[in-house]
Amino acid sequence: MRLCIQRLTPQRVKSPGAPLALLVGLLLTGCAGDKSILDPAGQAARDVVMIWWVMLGFGTVILVLVTVFWLYTFKRKEVTRTPAEERKIARRWIIGGGIVLPVVSITALLAFGVPTGQRLLPLPLSEPPEVIEVIGHQWWWEVRYPGAEGGEVVTSNQLIMPAGEPVDFHVTGADVIHAFWVPRLGGKIDMVPGRVNKIRLEADEPAVFGAQCAEFCGAQHTQMQLYVEAVERDEYDAWLAARQTGELAALAENDQQHESAREAFMTHCASCHRVAGLSSGELGPDLSDLGSRTSLGAGMIAMEEGAITHWLQHHRDLKPGNKMPPHDDIETATLASLGDWLETLTP
């Protein structure tokens, strides 16, 4: 974007069309990307975007009509009417604009909207769909797979789902109201503490999608992003199998190298974080497969070598106000060893 603006220095703008082209270009950049509703990747999202286009078209027609009427009022000649004629015209406007127009437009919207809403409902299917539970916390995502063969699988800040089949998302909030929204897959749904809301979404094909908390939930609301990836069914099953508590615990047992890091973890971190086979804290994200994730802090920084240590040292500056205490009381070398060990947690 910065590039476009630089190119638009005054000497270079020759035709009056250039600013317009720039504006349209900038607007259209909003249409691409992994969080664009205009780039649907599932049937529910296609229905939603269809309604969006219809409403945009309808809104544009109304805007043009109103503008034409408005311009007309400047042009038309003064006419004198009797009070009876005035009343008749006023009545026409009230009936036409106040009753007929809304009835017609709302009926049209319902005709489009009801089937779309229906598609997002978790209605009974002959074969029960996969269920994934998503829990919103300030400011991270807990994701649970209750139906995994061999026992429930838990992860955080990433959501892996099977492609090409409907998936029911059961969502709730742990502290305040959040909202679950994967724009390319369909409508959003509130995550309300004490209540489980359900939405059915389907991804046509394997792909990576962005997701975002869509209900203001406090200071770091914008930094509450979720990595969503749809994969083939067998890849999904393998992904779940590798995250069984037993599997992960066996990996930890064979790891002599990081003994002291694990001890430091038990002292400083275990009360808030779960690492399968080691601890069961629930106040912070599950870290059992942290090394295999793409980002840290719910999309705050990319996962790369040394990123975990960086996060442990600077998380207060990176994500001000987040609910993890500062680790100033822990030696830098210990934090680094914790970072090195957590990086190896890749099932």
According to the binding rule CB under 6 A, does residue 310 interact with ligand HEC? no
C-alpha to C-alpha distance for 173 and 194, rounded to whole angstroms = 7
Q: Of the candidates 272, 307, 318, 336, which one interacts with ligand HEC according to CB under 6 A?
A: 272
Q: Of the candidates 245, 323, 340, 344, which one interacts with ligand HEC according to CB under 6 A?
A: 323
Residue 262 interaction partner, one of ligand HEC, Cu ion, none, beta carbon < 5-8 Å per kind: none
According to the binding rule CB under 6 A, does residue 268 interact with ligand HEC? yes
Residue 283 interaction partner, one of Cu ion, ligand HEC, none, beta carbon < 5-8 Å per kind: ligand HEC
Task: Please say whether the dihedral angle defined by the alpha carbons of residues 36, 232, 131 and 139, taken in this order, is positive or negative.
Answer: negative
Residue 329 burial (CB count, 10 A): 7
C-alpha to C-alpha distance for 18 and 331, rounded to whole angstroms = 57
CB 138 within 8 A of CB 207: no
* Region 28-57 residues binding ligand HEC, contact defined as CB under 6 A: none
C-alpha to C-alpha distance for 120 and 167, rounded to whole angstroms = 10
Q: Which is nearer to ligand HEC, 48 or 248 (CB)?
A: 248
Q: Of the candidates 133, 191, 297, 337, which one interacts with ligand HEC according to CB under 6 A?
A: 297
CB of 224 to Cu ion, least distance (A): 5
- b/e 45-66 (16+ beta carbons within 10 angstroms → b): bebbbeeeeeeeeeeeeeeeee
Q: Which residue spans within 98-177 are E strands per DSSP?
A: 130-137, 140-145, 153-156, 158-162, 167-173
Q: Which is nearer to ligand HEC, 169 or 311 (CB)?
A: 311
Residue 269 interaction partner, one of ligand HEC, Cu ion, none, beta carbon < 5-8 Å per kind: ligand HEC
CB of 125 to ligand HEC, least distance (A): 32
Number of residues counted as binding ligand HEC (CB under 6 A): 30
Residue carrying the six token digits 């049209």 = 108
CB 299 within 8 A of CB 223: yes
Task: Please say whether the dihedral angle defined by the alpha carbons of residues 320, 324, 329 and 330, taken in this order, is positive or negative.
Answer: negative
Number of residues counted as binding Cu ion (CB under 5 A): 5
Q: Which is nearer to ligand HEC, 29 or 271 (CB)?
A: 271
CB of 261 to ligand HEC, least distance (A): 9
According to the binding rule CB under 5 A, does residue 221 interact with Cu ion? yes
Mapped onto helix, strand or coil, the DSSP state of residue 135 is strand
Q: Which stretch in 26-34, 38-46, 174-182, 319-327 sits in contact with ligand HEC by CB under 6 A?
A: 319-327
261 closest CA partner among 214, 320, 196, 308: 308
Residue 296 interaction partner, one of ligand HEC, Cu ion, none, beta carbon < 5-8 Å per kind: ligand HEC
According to the binding rule CB under 5 A, does residue 213 interact with Cu ion? yes
State the binding string over 155-194 for Cu ion (x if CB under 5 A, else -): -----------------------x----------------
DSSP per-residue string spanning 269-284: TTTT-EETTTEE--SS
Q: Of the candidates 108, 325, 326, 346, which one interacts with ligand HEC according to CB under 6 A?
A: 325
Residue 312 interaction partner, one of Cu ion, ligand HEC, none, beta carbon < 5-8 Å per kind: ligand HEC
Alpha helix ranges (H) inside the chain: 2-7, 17-29, 43-75, 83-93, 101-120, 233-242, 245-253, 259-268, 307-318, 332-343
- Dmax (CA) of the chain: 98
According to the binding rule CB under 6 A, does residue 296 interact with ligand HEC? yes
**Ramachandran quadrant class, 133 (left: phi over 0; alpha: psi -120 to 50; beta: rest):** beta
Q: Of the candidates 143, 189, 217, 290, which one interacts with Cu ion according to CB under 5 A?
A: 217
- Residues of this chain that bind ligand HEC (CB under 6 A): 139-140, 156-157, 220, 268-269, 271-273, 283-285, 287, 290, 296-298, 308, 311-312, 319, 322-325, 327, 330, 338, 342
- Residues of this chain that bind Cu ion (CB under 5 A): 178, 213, 217, 221, 224
